[in-house]
């Protein structure tokens, strides 16, 4: 088992499946299709991003019990990183931990287990997670792919990541009254109006100076169309990057409207946060499985940035990320601990076997 996973991880690393390289994305999908020969493979494509959904039955169930989700795309790396090598029990290479190692475990486990389980499981492999997952995971969801629970094998050192912040990008527009700069009383400065809004942001959402689990607002840009000295500006606009915790999910838009009562709010994007209850029965079972295999309870992790799981949470399907041990994701020295691939396999195997008896 160990060698099968290791060999497959190496094979996947050696394909330069950087998000922008359409040819390589298709090549890696073709490679995993070969691995999964004999199973039903549904192929999807959206904006030239291929993805597949694999299962053992003839037709797709209305709802899988569990979907194993993995992304095969990687961020760019130097040429050497696409030649995997082993050193001191670690496998080095681009995507080793994020997340070709985890994906290889999912593939090998799916091959071995899916036909033996008394419930349907799906294997979802996509190629655009690093750039948002809209044309992979979200595209498949739009095509009706559903599950009770989803596990993505992102790097967590066997921890369970059940929360991540959501993202709002919004333009806030203040309007004033233009006047000659020497006759201020005839106008109303939009910049000064904006200053009040800035003070309010600083008070309500002070800048994070260390890692903290709370909503934050980054003021990304402030501008006015005014270009002369002698004019009271009648417009001012700022761009806000709001990172909100799931606990603020229902209230955040209202809070923003209240903070800027006389201004126009133009929402550019709204990314739901990730949230799955720690006491969800699947999460509990996964926790138990990690504890039995690794002899210590997993950390429950809140993350500042989301994964493809957020697309499921967005339609109220529960899911978490949980994966093997490694470091250096997106860096020059990415590695996965080889024996953690085997351990991760055993965790998932126990999870699925126990799920059977319920």
Q: How many helices (H) and strands (E) would you count in the chain?
A: 9, 19
Least separation in angstroms between CB 251 and Zn ion: 30
Nearer to Zn ion by Cβ, of 136 and 176: the residue is 136
Least separation in angstroms between CB 156 and Zn ion: 10
Least separation in angstroms between CB 69 and Zn ion: 10
Sole window of 10-18, 48-56, 146-154, 177-185 interacting with Zn ion (rule: CB under 5 A) = 146-154
SS3 55: strand
| DSSP string covering 74-87 | B----GGGGS-EEE
Nearer to Zn ion by Cβ, of 16 and 154: the residue is 154
Give the residue among 327, 332, 326 at the shortest CA–CA distance from 77.
332
Q: Give the C-alpha separation, 245 to 166, whole Å.
A: 6
Nearer to Zn ion by Cβ, of 106 and 154: the residue is 154
SS3 329: coil
Nearer to Zn ion by Cβ, of 99 and 151: the residue is 99
Least separation in angstroms between CB 79 and Zn ion: 21
Least separation in angstroms between CB 276 and Zn ion: 18
H helix or E strand, kind and range, residue 274: strand 274-275
Least separation in angstroms between CB 98 and Zn ion: 4
Nearer to Zn ion by Cβ, of 275 and 309: the residue is 309
- The verdict on 98 binding Zn ion (CB under 5 A) reads yes
Find where tokens 């394909």 sit: 15
Nearer to Zn ion by Cβ, of 96 and 170: the residue is 96
- The verdict on 309 binding Zn ion (CB under 5 A) reads no
Least separation in angstroms between CB 129 and Zn ion: 6
Residue 309, C-beta contacts closer than 8 angstroms, at least 6 positions apart: 69, 150, 152, 164, 274, 276, 319, 320, 321
The angle, 0 to 180 degrees and rounded to 10, between the axes of the packed helices 101-113 and 22-35 is 30
CB atoms within 10 A of CB 178: 15
- The verdict on 126 binding Zn ion (CB under 5 A) reads no
Find where tokens 């990415």 sit: 334
Cα→Cα distances 295→18, 226, 288, 328, Å: 36, 64, 10, 25
Give the residue among 67, 73, 16, 74 at the shortest CA–CA distance from 50.
73
Sole window of 45-53, 103-111, 149-157, 251-259 interacting with Zn ion (rule: CB under 5 A) = 149-157
Sole window of 19-27, 95-103, 293-301, 337-345 interacting with Zn ion (rule: CB under 5 A) = 95-103
Sole window of 37-45, 48-56, 90-98, 207-215 interacting with Zn ion (rule: CB under 5 A) = 90-98
Find the residue with minimal CB distance to Zn ion.
98
Q: Among 99, 126, 236, 336, which residue sits at the site for Zn ion (rule: CB under 5 A)?
A: 99
CB atoms within 10 A of CB 34: 8
Find where tokens 């169930």 sit: 61
Least separation in angstroms between CB 111 and Zn ion: 22
Nearer to Zn ion by Cβ, of 136 and 273: the residue is 136
> How many residues bind to Zn ion according to rule CB under 5 A?
3
Tokens of 149: 């629970």
SS3 145: coil
For Zn ion, the binding residues in 242-301 under the rule CB under 5 A are none
Q: Which residues bind Zn ion (CB under 5 A)?
A: 98-99, 154
């Amino acid at each position: 088992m160990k060698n099968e996973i290791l060999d497959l991880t190496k094979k996947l690393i050696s394909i330069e499946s950087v998000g922008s390289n359409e040819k390589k994305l298709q090549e890696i999908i073709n490679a995993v299709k070969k691995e999964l020969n004999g199973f039903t493979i549904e192929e999807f494509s959206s904006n030239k991003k291929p993805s597949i959904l694999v299962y053992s039955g003839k037709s797709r169930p209305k709802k899988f019990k569990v979907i194993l989700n993995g992304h095969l795309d990687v961020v760019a790396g130097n040429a050497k990183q696409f030649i995997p090598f082993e050193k001191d029990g670690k496998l080095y290479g681009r995507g080793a931990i994020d997340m070709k190692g985890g994906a290889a475990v999912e593939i090998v486990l799916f091959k071995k287990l899916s036909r033996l389980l008394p419930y349907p499981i799906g294997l979802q492999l996509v190629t655009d997670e690093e750039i948002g997952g809209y044309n992979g995971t979200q595209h498949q969801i739009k095509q009706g792919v559903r599950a009770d629970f989803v596990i993505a094998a992102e790097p967590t050192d066997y921890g369970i990541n059940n929360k991540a912040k959501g993202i709002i990008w919004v333009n806030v527009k203040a309007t004033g009254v233009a006047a000659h700069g020497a006759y201020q009383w005839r106008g109303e400065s939009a910049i000064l109006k904006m200053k009040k809004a800035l003070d309010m942001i600083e008070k309500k959402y002070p800048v994070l100076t260390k890692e903290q689990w709370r909503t934050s607002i980054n003021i990304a840009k402030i501008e006015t169309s005014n270009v002369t000295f002698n004019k009271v500006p009648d417009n001012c606009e700022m761009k806000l990057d709001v990172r909100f915790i799931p606990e603020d999910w229902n209230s955040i838009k209202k809070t923003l409207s209240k903070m800027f009562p006389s201004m126009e709010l133009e929402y550019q994007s709204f990314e739901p946060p990730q949230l799955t209850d720690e006491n969800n029965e699947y999460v509990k079972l996964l926790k138990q499985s990690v504890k039995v295999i690794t002899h210590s309870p997993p950390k429950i992790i809140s993350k500042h940035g989301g994964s493809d799981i957020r697309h499921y949470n967005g339609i109220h399907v529960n899911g978490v990320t949980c994966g093997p041990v490694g470091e250096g994701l997106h860096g020059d020295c990415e590695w996965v601990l080889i024996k953690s691939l085997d351990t991760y396999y055993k965790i998932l195997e126990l999870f699925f076997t126990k799920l059977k008896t319920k």
